[in-house]
Structure 1
């Protein structure tokens, strides 16, 4: 399989099912941002962190490929003419969302209660988590906008929402694991 096809040289790309759209199409922006998020999660996974967290991040990376595939498949192209599903893979569902919630709760039990907003930073690994969280929020916003224009699976938005919470909690957990003080945002009074 060649890496370059030249089919995108005119500024269009194909969705799953063959429909060609402009490369700035909202659907492309949505799954492109999920791909960007996946790359940052890979960067976090490459840091000196526990194998347990690395395995959780690997699971999430695989699920983000599923999210991207779901976003790349327009509703009208989900079913083939013979009635079978075009995207014949497991989909993001309630169990994917519950996994993130379970992991958030597990990490949260080890952390001090939050009393202030926290500024990103303190350690490079923690900063990578905050960057990933921000990209996740952008992917979520784009997916919500896409959902306003077309039908997409609502579990995508739930998953991205929960994943951003997971990444925030992971940043806090890694701050604790790395013995890094969280930087509280304390606004100055007038």
Structure 2
């Protein structure tokens, strides 16, 4: 898929248009560009999260996730092309269930925070939710792979659980939401 880039800038986008993987030129604010751009942002935030010392299980899942997100971005940049399958979502669900099994039941809403790595997992979760919204918006206008939407939905769940697991592993409690809490 695609050619190897020997020159990074092309000047072809200087007037607000960009090329899709199939050669079609569209506006840089086209829903499809917004969708694969948001998936790329998700991948970048997970890349930042992956710079932390994480458990082997989380680190391995994040490697797989980043490759799958790149695949999803690729399929979104080529209308009608599909790479993400139910197997990707099922694998992520298995990793999520295994990670969640060691956590105490959640009895309260939690706020992003605790350790820096957990806070970055929460940030990645919110960026992932935005990507999901962008892909969903695109699906109202054009055909998209429904498995990509499922994957993004499950990924945001995984990142939430990963944040909790990261805090637990560090011996740091989650930050519990306290309704109506005001600074004094």
1:52-74 C-alpha deviation (Å, 9 max, x unpaired): 32121111100000000111111
1:9-57 C-alpha deviation (Å, 9 max, x unpaired): 1111001111100111111011011111101111111101123321211
* 1:150 to 2:155 alignment: no
Q: TM-score, normalised by structure 1?
A: 0.89
Tell me the SS of whatever aligns to 2:134. helix
Give, in angstroms, the shift of residue 186 of structure 1.
2.5
CA distance in structure 1 between the partners assigned to 2:70 and 2:122 by the alignment: 21
1:179 is matched with which residue: 166, 171, 179? 171
Q: Which residue of 1 aligns with 2:124?
A: 132
CA distance in structure 2 between the partners assigned to 1:186 and 1:158 by the alignment: 31
Q: TM-score, normalised by structure 2?
A: 0.92
Give, in angstroms, the shift of residue 183 of structure 1.
1.2
Tell me the SS of whatever aligns to 2:15. coil
Q: Which residue of 2 aligns with 1:100?
A: 92
Tell me the SS of whatever aligns to 1:13. strand
Superposition RMSD in Å: 1.2
Q: How does 1:1-190 map to 2 (within 5 A)?
A: 1-75=6-80, 78=81, 91-188=83-180
Unpaired runs of at least 5, structure 1: 79-86
Q: How many corresponding residue pairs? A: 176
Unpaired runs of at least 5, structure 2: 1-5
CA distance in structure 2 between the partners assigned to 1:58 and 1:101 by the alignment: 15
Tell me the SS of whatever aligns to 2:13. coil
